[in-house]
Amino acid sequence: MADIRPFCMPKWGIEMTEGTIAEWMVQEGQAFTRGQVICLIETDKITNEVEAEYDAVLKRVLVPASDQPQPVGALLGVFTDAATTDAEVDAFIAAFKPAETGVAAKATSAEPAPAAAAPEPAPAAAAEPKKIVTNRAISPEALKLAEAHGVDIEPIAGSGRGGRITYQDVVQAMRPERAYTPEGPAELPAETRTVYASPLAARLAAQYGIDLSALKGTGPRGRISKADVLGAVKPAVPEAAPAPVFGAPFVAVANTPVVQPFDKVRKVVARRLTEAKQTIPHFYLRVSARVDELVALRKTANVVMGTKASINDYLVKAVAMALVRHPDVNVQVAADAVHSFPHADVAIAVASPKGLVTPIVRQADRMHIAQIAATTRALIDKAQAGRLSFEDMDGGTFSISNLGMFGIEEFDAIINPPQGAILAVGGINRVATETAEGDIAFEGQIKLSLSVDHRAIDGAAGAAFLQTLKALIETPESLFA
């Protein structure tokens, strides 16, 4: 009896409707083992590594790597044992029908095999157990695995909520670096075969004469991707027009634009922002806050705590505390209901190679400043490496967008649905103010602009929230209460 199993487009989260095969890590006809990465699947803003749940052979690839999205449940490939014939695979594909729920229904030419569960990858040969003492958030099973194999957990960036180290994080850290050899008809320089790069990236590098060893990969585990190579390609510069001669007649030259179509992520961002602006009745509240005491406290606290917390980390803490005191602002807005939350899940806007993303600091109101700093640093690193997971960006009750580091004094942000509000933060400016004695003094101030969904939050509620936030920023000792 042939053991034939479908490999379908998975569904990560209730909002996912389609995904794209970015790259096959296993070639057609190649055997793989449980825990091995089979392919990379891109969704709107993240790239996920899909690991094998059992040992098998990738007998047939039905959807090659491309930029064309496939719906959830679409048949991407067929897994079999080594003895399965092509005729049996053809019959399986002809009889296959995806389930209406988006989960692929399996049809076989013989008796259907039970659906494969999702066991964790088997650990490697056990080493002497080593007791690990740490204050980091780590799951019990992950700690057992790390102790059993002597894994150093300090350099591991946890992918769980609040930077928690999961079992899968430890398994990933145990894997050796892989040297991938590109295959295919393209003539590749010998040196590219020792660089950790995708086959497409290697071919593009050969085509454009790019030295892969000089590139820094932004893909999973530092892998060089197509985007990395294309980013190193110098665009063709049109021949410069001759310098104008004084007194010579004017001659018009072609002013040809460089056309750059939206990529997949930019299309999604454009669609969501358009929908948010068209369907959400925005109104805006603005206030300025003194920050001299906050800046001084941050400098001292970083030395005492041994951290590198930023002003934005303190703002995340202040926003979280204000949201808990004003639950009518700590909301998500559904079609006909408002969802209030007891804790503040604060999303921070981050510019990444894949566009603007908003990873979430979970329950920031319960975190210490040092914990917030570590969590935001880990999220920003994952965003810039293109490795944010669905769990990193799912949900959120409020967003912060800070452009102060670019010298922006004030701006208004677009609400990130289904959240009810977003805070836009400008830079610190020295402002002349009148003292109690009637003299003129200068102080540092930041301007805050709150964009509010008027369907769920009234003006008085938004104003009260800003008043509390201003007080927390101007008395920063209260952030450690």
- DSSP codes, 285-296: EEEEEE-HHHHH
Backbone angles phi, psi at 384, to 5 degrees: -70, -25
Place of tokens 């019990």: 140
Pairing of strands 70-71, 47-51: unpaired
Among this protein's residues, is 454 annotated catalytic?
yes
- Give residue 87's identity as a one-letter amino acid code: A
Instruction: Please state, in angstroms and rounded to a whole number, the distance separating the CA atoms of residues 145 and 132.
Output: 11
If residue 104 lies in a helix (H) or strand (E), which one and from where to where?
strand 104-105
Contact present, 369 and 480 (Cβ < 8 Å): yes
Helix (H, G, I), strand (E, B) or coil at 93: helix
Spot the catalytic one: 282, 343, 368, 454. 454
Helix (H, G, I), strand (E, B) or coil at 229: helix
Which among 460, 340, 452, 358 is positioned nearest to 397, based on CA atoms?
340
Structure tokens at 154: 């300090």
DSSP label of 419: B
| All residues at 6 or more sequence positions from 417 whose CB lies less than 8 Å from its CB, including other chains | 272, 275, 276, 280, 333
Contact present, 41 and 47 (Cβ < 8 Å): yes
Give catalytic residue positions. Answer: 454
